[in-house]
């Protein structure tokens, strides 16, 4: 697990609603599977899917365009997945649930 795992679990357990973009869920589960294997990936996915306060964010064509604009505007300071998170947050006027200072700084810009 990475250095932010415990903080992320604690934040995900809070009762406030969360939206996890489908692209981010895919990236997260792929990383868990790579690092921990199928069993842990299935358990993580099932936990996320059963949380009433967590909504799966389905991308739209408009959002895909917004993500691309965020990605190109960042000029390499954000990865494409990070740009997905920033774009989703901008469309909802919500702060990202992130621990990476680059994501936080870019979302405030």
Domains of the chain: 5-108 (3.40.50.1010)
Q: How far apart are CA 89 and CA 101, in angstroms?
A: 15
Residues 6 or more apart whose Cβ sits within 8 Å of residue 85: 21, 24, 96, 98, 103, 107
What pLDDT, on a 0 to 100 scale, did the predictor assign at position 65? 97
What pLDDT, on a 0 to 100 scale, did the predictor assign at position 2? 66
Q: For 40-97, how does the pLDDT look when each residue is reduced to its tens digit (9 = 90+)?
A: 999 999 999 999 889 999 999 999 999 999 999 999 999 999 999 999 999 998 888 8
**With the C-alpha atoms ordered 25, 14, 70, 83, is the resulting torsion angle positive or negative?**
negative
pLDDT surpasses 80 at 8? no
Q: For 26-36, how does the pLDDT look when each residue is reduced to its tens digit (9 = 90+)?
A: 999 999 999 99
What pLDDT, on a 0 to 100 scale, did the predictor assign at position 27? 92
């Amino acid at each position: 697990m990475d250095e932010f795992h415990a903080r992320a679990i604690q934040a995900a357990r809070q009762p406030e609603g969360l939206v996890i973009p489908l692209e981010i869920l895919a990236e997260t589960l792929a990383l868990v599977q790579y690092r921990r294997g199928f069993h842990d990936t299935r358990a993580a996915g099932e936990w996320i899917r059963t949380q009433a306060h967590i909504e799966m964010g389905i991308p739209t064509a408009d959002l895909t365009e917004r993500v691309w604009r965020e990605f190109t505007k960042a000029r390499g300071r954000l990865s494409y997945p990070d740009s997905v998170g920033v774009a989703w947050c901008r469309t909802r006027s919500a702060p990202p649930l992130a621990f990476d200072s680059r994501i936080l700084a870019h979302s405030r810009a």
